[in-house]
Structure 1
Amino acid sequence: MRFNSPNQTRTAVGATDFLRYHDKLAALLPAVQRMAQLQQDCARVLPAAFGLCEILSFEAGLLVLSTPNASVAAKLKQQLPKLQETLAQKGWQVDSVKLKVQMMKAMSTPPVERRPLVIPAVGVDSFAELSDALEPTKANATLIAALKNLVAHRR
């Protein structure tokens, strides 16, 4: 579970309901709730830049966090004393924190809206005037040709 996962509530409710209604798995519910609470406490302490970090485990005072790359891990190392101190104030006995760099699934980005580029009629007329106003020198020849081509395609 990521610190900033948009589906935290829906997934957590579904998982706890599943665990609650199965006798053999019900023993896992306290551990799941404990990890969810630790996840929330870490999310409150760490800046938003660490949203892709995940808690891998927490056993015997050793908190293991995964990071998407070494750069994030290096920045997170600077935040560890603050994280440990704040978690200790909230009742978590974190003796040490270990970071693991792991490749994660990339967050899906919404598709970029493609819209056609439109030049208003006034702009096309201005390009036409510019192509006529330029001196027909060797240096301007390609520019004039490009402007006339642009005007021809836009009219």
Structure 2
Amino acid sequence: MPFWLMKSEPDEMSIHHLQQLGRARWDGVRNYQARNFLRSMQVGEQFFFYHSSCPEPGIAGIARIAGPTYPDPTALDPNSHYFDAKASHEKNPWSALDVEFVEAFPRVLPLARLRAEPALAELALVQKGSRLSVMPVSDAEWAAILALR
């Protein structure tokens, strides 16, 4: 099964919030490449839950894809930060899916630590200019990150 990394701002949803909920909708992805990755995910695949845009960005835990993608309802909600005026019920280009909690790490693995790990040199997250909120992680990268916990 493929592995993934997905970013969330912890004030919107953190690994601990997902832990409390057990299951939640992952929405608000507004980049076409990231959306396409989201659409290729299958139920049961796991991802690293990455806290972004916060004082200590890094990998905070693991979650799992709990359901197939569906049209992202936030694109149609004018009160949502993720509203897209071009989206409609008939043509919504954005997708969401449900995720479930697997594990919270004892401490966040900071981005600086990930960048310093030679085995992660090819990981899209550590590449300059990479800002995707959803990205694939190779088997070797997955194992290297787990070894850092």
Question: Which TM-score applies when normalising by structure 1?
Answer: 0.23
Q: Name whichever structure is richer in helix by fraction.
A: 1
Q: Name whichever structure is richer in strand by fraction.
A: 2
| Greater Rg by CA | 1
Larger RCO, structures 1/2 (Cα 8 Å, 6+ apart):
2
